[in-house]
Amino acid sequence: MQSGCVVTSLLNEILTASMVNSEVCPGLARVANSLLIGLVWLGLTAWSVAANAAGEQPIRVGVAMFPVAQANPFRDVIAPRTLPETALFDTLTRMTSGGELEPQLALAWHAKDPLNWVFELRRDVKFSNGKDFSAATVVAVLELLQEPTAIGYSITRELVSIKHATVLDRYTLSITTHFPDLMLPRRLSALRIPEPGQWRRLGPEAFAQQPVGTGSYQLAEWSANRVRLIPHRRSWRPARSAVEVLLIPDPATRLQALLSGAIDIAVGVGPDDTEAIESRGGSSHVEVGGRVMHLAFVTVQDSPLRDPRVRRALNLAVNRPLIAATILGGATVPASQAIPRQAFGYDPALKPYPYDPAAAKALLAEAGFGEGFALTASVAVGSSVVDEAYYQAIAQDLRRVGVSLRLERITVGKLVQYIYEGGWPGQAFGMDYGTEPSLDGLRPFWLHSCLWSQPWHCDPAQVPVIEAAQREFDPERRLALVRELVHRHHRDPPGIMLFELPRFDGLTAGLRGYTTGPAWIDLSAVVR
């Protein structure tokens, strides 16, 4: 076991070096990556054989990245990066792939009035340190999120409406909000519950290394390239098997590890890998989550993209049905609107922009750009197996109507910096309209608007609609307001709507019980 960890650590250093060198010497980098794949395959296979010889049979999962703050349950809210955290901690509620809200630690809830909610909790739940879960636990956790140190956590932004919580009895609590929040039970699907006593004793950084939750697993080991999880036997839904989560950033390496039997699950493979996986008796699992991919436009600076006719023309110019059918393997659909089908506010009456290059050219000419123009887009490739391919397809389609799209490849960190600080070097960038984890269709409109601290698109007419929808407690009226934003986005698109973003996971032969949702992966029922 130890030797496998050393091999994986060394190979990760090689991977990092080869990724850096690829910009300077692509030929050498290709050789290095080929060697890397072979070395990882050998290393993981040797580790797997040693583990099996010792009588251990964990479910081995290969992922592209780990949580940014180890097992701090408040820092990240979106899978698959948070896979270890979703194993260690439970949430009060959970959104299904079909957009339904289901109970988890909370069994039932209702609104007393627009500002006050009552939640009834599951009984006889134990933390992995033996402490009882109760209403006082949830109140204590929500109080942690009111402290100044919690300001930068992702979950704090999700739960901004919460004012305070009160214990009503051992398994019942009330939550009071600053303003009417119809989506509160959905938002609580992002709140992973740590044991508050352990958190206060250790502080956030030490807790992330010694986490205690009510989840199906408890932490046995967390190293740079491996997380080892063992079943939490007192959990209300105990795991069937132990789990090893292995950091394998390169998608080709993850695939080879799966095909060789070194891992049982590869999170994030390509749609073209299905045939190879199925030829070995395995299967593919597709999760079309709560995100619609866009090539978003920076309309706050002077460029042809300030003209709505140009923005509509570029939507007509991209052959999204072909991208969805070929590059994405038919696993998704072209986007008809800014939000996915599962989200609150989706309007099934809207249709995608058709692929019509002639109409696109006519609109460009009407706007005074009949000769075309040049466009630079900042894109972070590598988070998806196929993102490079679909960006190239978009560039080819735009070239056919006279628009020259230059792709500037940047890191995810740089993309986040531009989002929070501005200073975009080009006129467009790749970004999804994300409704995860709550599947609230209003969520992305707030981000892509004048309300954002460093807006890239600002339509002042949207702001009162967004603010009214945020505080509307009547479901029908809120639905109408969100759909008003959806239709406005369709008429005057601030980017190219592409497709609902899928994730492809590969499973080894005979694996059963693997379930996923828009912001979670559940390994508790997985068995060979």
Say if residue 378's pLDDT is above 60: yes
Of the candidates 45, 46, 22, 47, the one whose C-alpha atom is nearest the C-alpha of residue 33 is 22
Query: Has residue 84 been placed in a domain?
Result: no
Radius of gyration, CA atoms only, the chain: 24
- CATH no. for residue 24? 3.40.190.10
pLDDT recorded at residue 80: 77
pLDDT recorded at residue 4: 34
Q: Is 108 helix (H, G, I), strand (E, B) or coil?
A: strand
Last residue of a domain, one of 197, 225, 248: 197
- Section 315-332 average pLDDT: 96
Say if residue 391's pLDDT is above 50: yes
Read off the pLDDT of residues 479-514 as tens digits, 9 standing for 90 and up.
999 999 999 999 999 999 999 999 999 999 999 999
- Considering the domain architecture, whether residues 181 and 272 belong to the same structural domain is answered as no
Of the candidates 258, 292, 288, 263, the one whose C-alpha atom is nearest the C-alpha of residue 273 is 258
Query: Has residue 527 been placed in a domain?
Result: no
Domain that holds residue 325: 289-503
Query: Has residue 210 been placed in a domain?
Result: no
Say if residue 525's pLDDT is above 60: yes
Of the candidates 125, 144, 136, the one whose C-alpha atom is nearest the C-alpha of residue 214 is 125
Q: Which helix (H) or strand (E) holds 28?
A: helix 26-53
- Section 47-55 average pLDDT: 42
Query: Has residue 429 been placed in a domain?
Result: yes
- Considering the domain architecture, whether residues 164 and 276 belong to the same structural domain is answered as no
pLDDT recorded at residue 25: 41
- Considering the domain architecture, whether residues 346 and 444 belong to the same structural domain is answered as yes
In the numeric block, which tokens belong to residue 184? 């509160």
* Percentage with pLDDT > 90 across the chain: 82
- How would you class 277 by CB atoms within 10 Å of its CB: exposed for 0-12, middle for 13-18, buried for 19 or more? buried
Confidence tier at 170 by pLDDT (50, 70, 90): very high
Query: Has residue 528 been placed in a domain?
Result: no
Read off the pLDDT of residues 509-523 as tens digits, 9 standing for 90 and up.
999 999 999 889 999
Confidence tier at 56 by pLDDT (50, 70, 90): low
Query: Has residue 460 been placed in a domain?
Result: yes
State the Cα–Cα distance between residues 129 and 137, nearest whole angstrom.
Answer: 14
- Section 101-106 average pLDDT: 98
- Section 156-184 average pLDDT: 97
State the Cα–Cα distance between residues 136 and 129, nearest whole angstrom.
Answer: 17
Whole-number Cα distances in Å, 269 to 151, 206, 277? 35, 33, 10
- Considering the domain architecture, whether residues 94 and 55 belong to the same structural domain is answered as no
pLDDT recorded at residue 508: 97
State the Cα–Cα distance between residues 100 and 117, nearest whole angstrom.
Answer: 19
Last residue of a domain, one of 197, 227, 243: 197
pLDDT recorded at residue 289: 78
- Considering the domain architecture, whether residues 234 and 307 belong to the same structural domain is answered as no
CB 154 within 8 A of CB 75: yes
What residue type is 360 in one-letter code?
Answer: A
Other beta carbons within 10 Å of 328: 27
- Among the residue ranges 59-63, 146-150, 213-217, 357-361, the one predicted with the least confidence is 146-150
What are the φ and ψ backbone dihedral angles of 165, each rounded to 5 degrees? -130, 150
- Section 367-381 average pLDDT: 95
pLDDT recorded at residue 279: 95
- Considering the domain architecture, whether residues 152 and 277 belong to the same structural domain is answered as no
Whole-number Cα distances in Å, 233 to 123, 229, 241, 487? 16, 12, 11, 50
Last residue of a domain, one of 136, 166, 197: 197
Other beta carbons within 10 Å of 461: 9
* Percentage with pLDDT > 70 across the chain: 89
Q: Given phi > 0 = left and psi -120 to 50 = alpha, else beta, which region is 203?
A: left
Say if residue 383's pLDDT is above 80: no
pLDDT recorded at residue 417: 94
CB 270 within 8 A of CB 312: no
Confidence tier at 353 by pLDDT (50, 70, 90): very high
Query: Has residue 202 been placed in a domain?
Result: no
Read off the pLDDT of residues 209-236 as tens digits, 9 standing for 90 and up.
999 999 999 999 999 999 999 999 999 9
- How would you class 172 by CB atoms within 10 Å of its CB: exposed for 0-12, middle for 13-18, buried for 19 or more? middle
How much is the mean pLDDT over the chain?
A: 89
- Among the residue ranges 38-52, 69-83, 182-196, the one predicted with the least confidence is 38-52
- Considering the domain architecture, whether residues 168 and 278 belong to the same structural domain is answered as no
pLDDT recorded at residue 18: 34
Q: How many domains does the chain have?
A: 3
- Considering the domain architecture, whether residues 169 and 233 belong to the same structural domain is answered as no
- Considering the domain architecture, whether residues 383 and 311 belong to the same structural domain is answered as yes
- Considering the domain architecture, whether residues 466 and 355 belong to the same structural domain is answered as yes
pLDDT recorded at residue 76: 81
- Section 444-470 average pLDDT: 96
State the Cα–Cα distance between residues 385 and 76, nearest whole angstrom.
Answer: 22
What are the φ and ψ backbone dihedral angles of 235, each rounded to 5 degrees? -65, 150
Say if residue 74's pLDDT is above 50: yes
State the Cα–Cα distance between residues 72 and 89, nearest whole angstrom.
Answer: 10
Say if residue 363's pLDDT is above 50: yes
Q: Is 229 helix (H, G, I), strand (E, B) or coil?
A: strand
Of the candidates 303, 294, 269, the one whose C-alpha atom is nearest the C-alpha of residue 284 is 269
What is the biggest distance separating any 2 CA atoms in the chain, rounded to whole angstroms? 72
In the numeric block, which tokens belong to residue 182? 């119809």
What are the φ and ψ backbone dihedral angles of 164, each rounded to 5 degrees? -165, 165
- CATH no. for residue 173? 3.90.76.10
- CATH no. for residue 319? 3.10.105.10
pLDDT recorded at residue 382: 74
- Considering the domain architecture, whether residues 313 and 167 belong to the same structural domain is answered as no
pLDDT recorded at residue 519: 87
Read off the pLDDT of residues 258-315 as tens digits, 9 standing for 90 and up.
999 999 999 999 999 999 999 999 999 999 979 999 999 999 999 999 999 999 999 9
Of the candidates 380, 393, 434, 418, the one whose C-alpha atom is nearest the C-alpha of residue 298 is 418
Say if residue 120's pLDDT is above 90: yes
pLDDT recorded at residue 27: 41
- Section 61-86 average pLDDT: 89
Query: Has residue 62 been placed in a domain?
Result: yes
Confidence tier at 10 by pLDDT (50, 70, 90): very low
- Considering the domain architecture, whether residues 397 and 307 belong to the same structural domain is answered as yes
